[in-house]
A and B are shown apart, each in its own frame.
Chain A
């Protein structure tokens, strides 16, 4: 279980992006964090991972299976990264270092956290690529030699390379075309089921969230205002902002 309690985060310029947020993520479940731009949803997951810029203030608790992550010293944090929890960036961002091959970037992560030989690591990487629907020829490619959808699949494969228990995804399908979007979301759902991982996905798209996530948590102005099963929240939203979001969804569908 990943538990976030009373998490607050302020950027170095003084902007308080997250105000006492709470959420819980269970293994095998997908939780969608939904909100408009500026609601603090991306900040929340970076705060959970201790990845906000230097000078930011973060308070509250983030527990990954009872491990208080934010209370750990830097070095201990570094050691359990990727093994406990991994990250997928937005589709528009560069997840991969442009001057290194995909193989290099997979292998360095596995070398850091797992005790595998070169051959074992390569084999594992190839297997992961297969899992996301790419052939192992992609290992020797550079990031600029792939399409947006292929890069995102690679990013997913790399996120799984140390077999994490939790996966945080920041708008993983934004900027992809609708078909690829659906493919990636189905891929993520099956991975989460198969590996019994907990996945927290940030999105602004309520429709996407309701069709793929088990639970939806709505964020508004830095606060987590409502958390509910996805089918329940669509049918009977309680908070005013949630109601407004659901209304706009049905207006679009009409």
Chain B
């Protein structure tokens, strides 16, 4: 059976994305743009954000899109002598706008944002008007320069905001959603895999012990399984997370404690059936010690099924962690997909219709789970070929 099918390829792609691409992107919690920016590829007519540096005295650029939401000019201007007449000008194809008066000082810091009210008044505009839509009303060539009677050294950055940013836009804090998404892969994978591995180990251990030893040990372990299974899962996770703490490893531990029961039952019934198998009796008659039988016969027999069970258990852990994060019970600094959806809901993704905050993490969770289920089902079929019929493949 070929290893490289859609599910394994997809999983590999995600792993590469999170471990190789993510460090190249920069910290996820950094604010990079205004809040609720749309993804770049949406609404192409509104243009891409621009960030230019005017090192020499003059900077020219073209603007061929709709007027941007805002722009800012930041940096420093220094003159060789104190100028008597100097101004920072923004020239549009139609008009020239004086953004700032620079006379009278040798070194100046420039920090202009088109949303500032003083700027609007300075330009003679109504405080409720969007400066950028007035200035950038025409398509064509624009230039930014300092007009002065003395030589000037200019180090200015003009940033034009179109309300768009990045592949997936920005969230309510102006963080790049794509970076959050890619980091979220790691969280989901870590929690899902570790929680399931720990749970499987506990389950296998206890199941083997219960099945092999029988008697009181068996009953007490099975009684524990019944009790734990009867406790409603999400409520107990909510209560424990709320009381105990919200860290990554706390969640992993809590999830493990409440998901080992299924594996234990399966391993126990497998152990019971293997214990009665004729070849095991033969081995015991020959004097083989229990450990030998366990390691050399039981485990290889049980391994394919256990592997399938473990892989199929990962989606449950991923969904549980996502659920807890969605309810707000995870570390706010951890870029979990569930947390992203939590913030989307709580901070009003709806009022803005910011669907780009909802689809990437949600589809991420779903596709990750689907990949694991697909792989797990393949393992299941390898372990028990009869199942091929049942799944209709």
| Contact, chains A and B (beta carbon distance below 8 A) | no
